[in-house]
Structure 1
Amino acid sequence: MIDILLRAASAIQQAINIVFHFLTVDYFRQIALLSASASPTMKRIIVLGGSYAGISTAHRILKQAAKIGPLKITLVSPNTDFYWSMASPRGVVPGQIADEKLFQPIAAGFSKYPAAQFEFTLAKAEKLDVEAKSVGISSGETLDYDYLIVATGSRTRAHTPFKALGSTEETRDALHDFQSEVKEAKTIVVAGAGVTGVEAAGELAYEYGREKKIILVGLNDPMTHSLMIRRVKCCFSMHPVNPSQIASGPTILEESPASVSNYALKALKNLKVTVKLDTKVMSSAQLPAGQKELTLSNGDTLTTDMYIPTFGLIPNSSYIPAPYLNTNGSVMVDEYLRVKGAKDVWAIGDVSDVESWQFITCDRQSAHLARNMISMMNNRPPLPYKVAASRMISVFIIRDGVLTDLVAGFMGLQIGKKAATGHFGSWRLPSFIVARARRTLFVENMGPTVDGSLF
């Protein structure tokens, strides 16, 4: 009898265990399903461009990933290495800056992030489909996105290594060829009187002023001049200005205050640079001996061993449909840096039409967009972008022929290794301060930029 009772108790216990198992398995399965449905969806962010704008924005977002839920950033770039183009006017001079101070691998800089959060894709953007929210790339893949950041920058019209030229190998080879040509040349003509032209002429003259003839042709190319006027043509002043003072005469650095232009002109002449004002290069022809013959707008001709055009930047926007571009090929953005007419797409840096193409504006746009992305992914409204950091000084721009009051800007440039100048608004900055700040052309910041420790 006792044996029967024990067997019955055991059977009842087994039955209870089986029922409990099925009940609890179903319960916890339901809990798991509810948890899965409540968990945030992984956000796919594609960043196009491996220059400063793209790299800095990717790092700034990734560093805040813990605050914004699951995300994955795919950085698409045709170049394996980041190129510190800010130092290119000195980098084109042989022996001045080693390659490792101009180029640094991009992927290694993001190695601290888990693969689930970051992926580097070596490819070129070829087709943007805004409706499908996808980007076709040169590897043949099509990448889908939830958010897209366009930061593909610009290139030089003359295909010179003052900007990245596509692949890292192409840029590095062009830089080395450029250096070899500089070394062999006895006469060098630099065309274009903007920042790049003045810096390049200054660096060449500082190194070779006593043994090579360096000529700066001072008036910018007419197409470039027109582009800058339509884009953002600045004149900085503490007081209202007369539109006729915007470009008051033949000079260099014509978008800067007269005091800055005059200082730069004097510094170039001290370095034995021959400056030809109020003229421009109309055409160039290759001579049988390997030299080039340049025809100037005043009818004169120049024979030179090397011709360096520094005017003309072209936005890298060929993959973007025409309705989103202005007549210059720049991406049209609104006050939030969003591409006009495109959902969940933003554009910053040289490829956008919002500001003049400068490092300082690129950095500000990157920081602002990263903050807005974090806010939006936390269901907070974005903030509008302000064109400049200071409201204390007026900036006057010509846009479609209308003089418009904005806020102050900043510019600094090096003229050789010892002289420098710059301005904040209409104030010319003390030369020794600019020279000290820019003496290395900030190459020491390349590593911290690529690995994100700068941000």
Structure 2
Amino acid sequence: MKTIVILGGSFAGLTLAHKLLKQHASTGDVKVIIVSPNTHVYWNLASVRAIIPGQIPDEKLFQPIAPGFKQYKADHFEFVLGKAESIDVAGKKVAVSSATGINNLSYDILVLATGSHTKADAPWKGRDTYEETRDVLHDYQAKVKKASSIVVVGSGATGVETSGELGFEYGKTKKITLIASGDHVLEGTPASVSKTATNLLKKVNVNLTLSTKVVGDAKMPDGRTELTLSSGQKITTDLYLPTIGLVPNSSYVPADLLNSNGFVVVDNNLSVKGATDVWAVGDVSSIQRAQIVNATKQADHAAKNIDLAIKGQPLLPYKVGGDMLAVPVGRKAGTGHMGSWKLPSFMIVMRIIPGPNSSAFRAQIAGNLQ
């Protein structure tokens, strides 16, 4: 029996685990071990709305991992609550820290699916534990409720969606400002998408400050934040929400397997370059930008290739494919694109990417996937 250790219990790791277990259900020739410091999965796509008090209850944002794997035999699946500290690639072992100390897990095949975190203190990504993530989110909900002025920095998808949600809820009662380093929002998207996003933000009373960077921030004695802008101007806000800076969770990975930004380098089969029987999927991988649709697509492909590798058959190259982006701006409109095709607003409102209220999230955790 092959032991497959998957580091990371979020979307990429869970998708891959379920796929592998279902592929080998009849043969029973693999055991899948998921290692994660979190007992729950965090639907972080909804974090931009969840920071607004009363919008989304915790039980719809967080789902426990273990119940989704009760369908499998105990000798075919194991969940380890712990955090990867280091990898011995030659010896095929992973050092995992947990409440009982450091333990070494042996593997035949290893998958790195540990995701990423934000540079700044913000609830857009999960923390080490479910409790930490939940408490940070609650803290931000309280800050948003109390604030009279909020500055969002970064005009990518997270920044635009956050500003739109805040503007929709508070645009007439709080001062909401979005600061963008470029001369338009959603850089890298078709011009029509950026223009639509700009108009929608203005409709919900978001103030746009373009071609400006935040070069410094300092906490003031009264709890507010003073921001120094690239123009030399200083502004003060009750709440500062940076949405830029994504850092891969790869501190446990040997440096020679990482690129200069800390992402794991993979080949076009999704196997890690410079290592044998090691794969990487999701945000921690260098192959594609961090998006849930990319993470789950990579996990699905890696499951096929790992199965082929076990059988000694040729691997299939992964196709990166066209770019896709869906950005709600408030609760009644949005914009986005699929390749060069602009997505109509009604598709965004109907949640082309499933939200925490949909069956898709629960199906993902339970492994009820196509």
Q: TM-score range by the shorter chain?
A: over 0.9
Amino acid at match of 1:48: L
**Contact between 2:354 and 2:361, CA under 8 Å: does it hold in 1?**
no
Q: Which residue of 1 aligns with 2:198?
A: 265
Superposition map of 1:144-155 within 5 A: 144-155=106-117
Q: Which residue of 2 aligns with 1:193?
A: 155
SS in structure 2 at match of 1:66: coil
SS in structure 2 at match of 1:63: helix
Q: Which residue of 2 aligns with 1:435?
A: 349
Once the two structures are TM-superposed, the CA of residue 124 in structure 1 deviates from its matched residue by 0.4
Work out the CA distance in 2 between the residues paired with 1:289 and 1:92.
22
Amino acid at match of 1:212: K
**Contact between 2:61 and 2:356, CA under 8 Å: does it hold in 1?**
no
Select the structure of larger CA radius of gyration: 1
Once the two structures are TM-superposed, the CA of residue 378 in structure 1 deviates from its matched residue by 2.5
Q: Which residue of 2 aligns with 1:454?
A: 369
Work out the CA distance in 1 between the residues paired with 2:352 and 2:234.
36
Work out the CA distance in 1 between the residues paired with 2:134 and 2:326.
26
Once the two structures are TM-superposed, the CA of residue 434 in structure 1 deviates from its matched residue by 2.2
Amino acid at match of 1:384: P
Q: Which residue of 2 aligns with 1:399?
A: none
SS in structure 2 at match of 1:339: coil
Work out the CA distance in 2 between the residues paired with 1:257 and 1:301.
32
Work out the CA distance in 2 between the residues paired with 1:109 and 1:440.
19
Instruction: Give the structure with the higher percent helix.
Output: 1
Q: Which residue of 1 aligns with 2:66?
A: 107
How many percent of aligned residue pairs carry the same amino acid? 51
Superposition map of 1:333-372 within 5 A: 333-372=266-305
Amino acid at match of 1:433: M
Q: Which residue of 1 aligns with 2:31?
A: 72
Amino acid at match of 1:202: G
Superposition map of 1:10-409 within 5 A: 42-139=1-98, 140-219=102-181, 250-388=183-321, 408-409=322-323
Work out the CA distance in 2 between the residues paired with 1:177 and 1:366.
33
Work out the CA distance in 1 between the residues paired with 2:93 and 2:50.
37
Work out the CA distance in 2 between the residues paired with 1:440 and 1:409.
18
Work out the CA distance in 2 between the residues paired with 1:313 and 1:411.
17
Once the two structures are TM-superposed, the CA of residue 274 in structure 1 deviates from its matched residue by 0.2
- Distance change (3 Å), C-alpha of 1:71 and 1:183: same
**Contact between 2:327 and 2:348, CA under 8 Å: does it hold in 1?**
yes
Give the gaps of 5 or more residues in structure 2.
none
Amino acid at match of 2:235: L
Q: Deviations over 1:417-436 (max 9, x none)?
A: 11111111122111122222
- Distance change (3 Å), C-alpha of 1:439 and 1:420: farther
Q: TM-score, normalised by structure 2?
A: 0.96
Work out the CA distance in 1 between the residues paired with 2:224 and 2:106.
50
When the two chains are superposed, the root-mean-square deviation of aligned CA atoms in Å is 1.3
Amino acid at match of 1:423: H
Work out the CA distance in 2 between the residues paired with 1:338 and 1:132.
18
Work out the CA distance in 1 between the residues paired with 2:118 and 2:253.
19
Amino acid at match of 1:200: T
Work out the CA distance in 2 between the residues paired with 1:277 and 1:199.
16
Work out the CA distance in 1 between the residues paired with 2:12 and 2:344.
29
Work out the CA distance in 2 between the residues paired with 1:73 and 1:446.
21
Q: TM-score, normalised by structure 1?
A: 0.79
Q: Which residue of 2 aligns with 1:223?
A: none
Once the two structures are TM-superposed, the CA of residue 438 in structure 1 deviates from its matched residue by 4.4
Once the two structures are TM-superposed, the CA of residue 127 in structure 1 deviates from its matched residue by 0.5
**Contact between 1:84 and 1:443, CA under 8 Å: does it hold in 2?**
no
Worse-matched range after superposition: 75-84 or 367-376: 367-376
Aligned pair count reads: 366
